[in-house]
Structure 1
Amino acid sequence: MVPLSRPTRLASAWRRLRRVVLARRRLLAALLAGVAVAAVVESATAPPQPAVGVLTAARDLPAGEVLDGDDLVEVDFAPGSVPSGAARDVVGRTLAAPVGRGEPVTDVRLVGPALTAGDPGLTAVPVRLPDAGMVALLEVGDRIDLIGTDPQGSGASVVATGVPVLALPRPSADSAGSAQPGELVVVGADPADVTRLADASVRLFLTYAFAH
């Protein structure tokens, strides 16, 4: 018997495999259909991931707004889409920057330590400027030089230079009759200047100049 060449053997094996597949094609098709149906059933019956409630602005909110329940609405977010720093328990907190309707309220938008998240080398410090009209000229993001003037007339000195305005809290209804004049401004100060700022806020008449 003459041995078959390699190409001939391959062709013969392919014909046998083809005959086996064709003979069992209905069984193979049924198996594949069963696998597809099982995958669909499993995906349809898999429990959905629980949504995460995130507090968002119910309307456009300006900087300085003291938040109450009517300012907020909870919206369900998929677990992987929750914004970083999404804030909880924000009623009574003050907005450091505007928040648009539907926008999540995050800790960097609130007056507090997170205000300096963009520049961790600074410390958020509230200072009182006695002239409310001057405060009205400021916007969050302005850089100012704080200048202290001695009420006794001994001169003026620069207390801090180039500090950024982080927040402009609105006076609350409870403070409307306060004996302290002016309004608060939250600035980002070098830690080395914090003590000097606190002292100047008590002893001096503070004003500012826009920094170059």
Structure 2
Amino acid sequence: MSKKIIIAIDGFSSTGKSTIAKLLAKKYNYIYVDTGAMYRAVTLFAKQNNFVGKSFLDKENLVSSLNEISLTFQFNEKLGFAEMFLNGLNVEKEIRTLEISQLVSKVSAISAVRKKLVAEQQLMGEDSGIVMDGRDIGTVVFPGAELKLFMTASADKRATRRYKELIDRGDKVDFKDILFNVEERDRIDSTREDSPLLKANDAIEFDNSDMGITEQFERICALVDAKLSV
């Protein structure tokens, strides 16, 4: 049996973590887990039940309802990656809206939410052979991961990428709103009390402000191959 490792990818929003993670999972035949999708799905649940909005957060009722949330990933052969299902329903499109992006940092800062999802994420990686991206994978979920990457880029470049993604999808959005959301999520994610966004001491930093996907992928594959050959 060939050696398998855990690849942990952390970093700021809209740095292409998921894109790189999907490519790696496909190349090495690993399981890919988008932890951001899990937090977005919980946020969608909270929004649907009126537990969160732009000006409020009903933390108590959300926490007491966590046992009503079932999250699963189901592989879509046409797309080539797993989609997020919330209580049996495909919510992949609903969780990618700007509205959910504006609310997710509030929900993901709740300790009980993080505890529930981290436990689920750790179970997924018990047999290694997994690529997982998020905010605290290398520091909290898999501190012993064989390869840790930390993705970063300027806020302007990240907002531009996110803006193009939403416009291409048909959403009507304003660039200023996207940039504000990127900067606000950075602030909240980096300053929250529970599992703040931090670069693990042994993580390799990738500033891809001026780096294309192909260059990033080739560099990271070299790092993976080096770990697999040890």
Higher strand share: 1
Provide the TM-score with structure 2 as the length reference.
0.21
**Higher-Rg member (1/2):** 1
Instruction: Report which structure shows greater RCO (CA 8 Å, sep ≥6).
Output: 2
